[in-house]
Amino acid sequence: MNQKRALKQLKKLEKYTDSNLRLAAEWNKKWKVLIATILSPQTKDETTIKISEILFKKYNSPKKLSDASLTEIKKIIKPVNYYKTKAKNIKETAKIISKTKIPKTCEELLNLPGVGRKVANVYLAEAENASTIGVDTHITRISNKLNWTKNKNPHKIEKDLEKLFPKKYWSSINYIIVRFGRKHQRKDEDKIIKSIKNIK
């Protein structure tokens, strides 16, 4: 796969997305971006957004969230997958970021409870406007279908996409592909991908 062709395919994918479709990481405060992104893995964006809104309305600062009882946090976030682990993680992360600034590098973010590479990269792209690629299930599936990568490991996919696309496009890849994946059912997705694969 060459860069020019991959870029054409990405731009074509974007035409099949809905730019008004809100993603789980889109919030007006950095700490909310971080907490919502920790809640998002293996959970639909619609669910993450709905639950995050309830959570942030009740606890409107990292300090208040860190002081909340674990039982109460679990009760609120129960609709998200792995809610018990995520409840512990967001409470502990809220405690840390209530005392210090949120890190601005992937390496430092990885020290926070519940933050893996995908969460760190999505946070950095949204909150810090950084050139990063957050690899989730949508990215894994679609980048494999388009032959942008042959890897299944998220970190290896991230590195393959970094080599394939110019840096200025990195932060938009997740937004385009996740919106595309959310908008189309798998059958329709496959038809569109098939037509996009033929772009030279």
Catalytically active residues are 118
Residue 182 to residue 172: CA distance in whole angstroms: 16
Tell how far CA 124 is from the center of its chain. Answer: 10
User: Residues 38, 85: contact at Cβ < 8 Å?
Assistant: no
Q: Are the C-beta atoms of 80 and 43 separated by less than 8 Å?
A: yes
From residue 168, alpha-carbon distances to 44, 60, 164, 180 in Å are 27, 34, 12, 20
Distance of alpha carbon 10 from alpha carbon 138, whole angstroms: 14
Q: What is the DSSP letter of 42?
A: T
Residue 22: closest CA among 175, 188, 181, 127: 175
